[in-house]
Amino acid sequence: MNTTINDWAGELAGRHIVLGLTGGVAAYKAAEFCRLLVKAGATVQVVMTDAACRFITPVTMQALSGRPVFTSQWDARADNHMPHINLSREADAIVVAPASADFIAQLAQGRAGELLSLLCLARPLAQAPLLVAPAMNRQMWAHPATQRNLRQIAADGAHVLAVGCGEQACGENGDGRMLEADELLEELIAFLAPKQLLGARVLVTAGPTYEAIDPVRGITNRSSGKMGFAIARAAREAGADVTLIAGPVALPTPRGVRRIAVTSAVQMHAAAVDEARTATVFIATAAVADWRPAHAAGNKIKKDGGGQPPPLALAENPDILAEIAHAPRAQSGELYCVGFAAESDDLLVHAQAKRARKGVPLLAANIGPATFGRDDNALLLIDDEGVTELPRASKRALARQLVAEIARRVSGGEEGERV
């Protein structure tokens, strides 16, 4: 897994999820998915088909969810004997994971022979969205009938999740694997998030740059990239098409985000200028090195025993943010630019000066030594109207707040409380 349980804590607080299991070996992933849902704060009601009970027991899912599992439309525990109505009306979302080829065919045909397909058919379309996580052999996945059924259920309002590619239980290798539990959770969280940037094309730079002195040494900084990656993820959840240009960091790419890996400031500059041609929002979180060695040595520079280091001539790196912010698209309002300032002292004074120098409508400032490598941060947002303070919180929470602030400014809505 790319994330820990703590990364999801509280993400789904107050949400009620109906988790449906159909027949397939991927049911073992549904057990972990159920556990992550509960850790994320959701209440989980599990509904299983007869075939699902062949792969994993209702007892297991009851232990993980903390609620009795439903398997039959004739279950007498409901006072009105209508579990298909009661369960679907209570749900914030219905997630079928795994969804077998047979169950997808049932949905496409509107069949309701078991409780799970029945409650999917009986769900209020506007109130209880249906997410389907397919899981099957690669040949079954590629079959025209399966693909036709997937298109049909999507046309009927279901949200069909992607499948993974890799080794399958049958020994074959290819498309059709169900997503991993953490991937399912990330997809669900993104699906339920408010779409404040729907239709926007967001470009984010993140992490440090590395400027080579020779093949084994270089100039860099302590930026972990965590803030930029959190912003990219939050923007994607808000409905944006997100491109992330990342320096050398060991962080997983957020789901649904296109990543461009670079090393040096010159490489980041070339990629950012190119991508900014079609972006509508540019968020420059990267800690770009101000200087680079004017000439990188082709071989490792050796000590000469004289006690004096060799001279190191420096050249100034391109100013990515200033160049893009002063380009015609930004000046005309087609591209909204957000800068970041990592300072060591006098945060407000330095940040205001940097905003004026870069020419950006919004600048987010923080104390660099207090945030580099950490999972939390605090921000000052500075624009023409004044200063908005975002108190210390997780970078995940701050990223969502920042994206909401950007969305309000881009849409011309009300801004946050001023300090």
23-59, pLDDT tens digit by residue? 999 999 999 999 999 999 999 999 999 999 999 999 9
CATH topology of domain 5-192: Rossmann fold (3.40.50)
Average pLDDT (348-369) is 88
Rounded-to-integer distance, Cα 408 and Cα 281, Å: 13
Average pLDDT (356-385) is 86
Rounded-to-integer distance, Cα 153 and Cα 149, Å: 6
Under the banding of pLDDT at 50, 70 and 90, the label for residue 77 is confident
Give me the pLDDT at residue 362, please.
96
Higher pLDDT, 307 or 320: 320
Higher pLDDT, 311 or 129: 129
pLDDT tens digits for 90-110? 899 999 999 999 999 999 999
Give me the pLDDT at residue 61, please.
98
Average pLDDT (315-337) is 96
Give me the pLDDT at residue 346, please.
83
- Structural domain boundaries in the chain: 5-192, 201-293+313-411
Average pLDDT (139-149) is 98
Give me the pLDDT at residue 419, please.
28
Give me the pLDDT at residue 415, please.
41
Query: Would you please indicate which residues are annotated as catalytic (active-site) residues?
Result: 170
Give me the pLDDT at residue 7, please.
64
Give me the pLDDT at residue 413, please.
56
Give me the pLDDT at residue 307, please.
77
Under the banding of pLDDT at 50, 70 and 90, the label for residue 1 is very low
Residue 129 has pLDDT above 80, yes or no: yes
* Mean predicted lDDT score pLDDT of the chain: 92
Under the banding of pLDDT at 50, 70 and 90, the label for residue 117 is very high
Under the banding of pLDDT at 50, 70 and 90, the label for residue 417 is very low
Let me know if the fold of 5-192 is the same as that of 201-293+313-411. Answer: yes
CATH topology of domain 201-293+313-411: Rossmann fold (3.40.50)
Residue 255 has pLDDT above 80, yes or no: yes
Give me the pLDDT at residue 394, please.
92
Average pLDDT (278-292) is 96
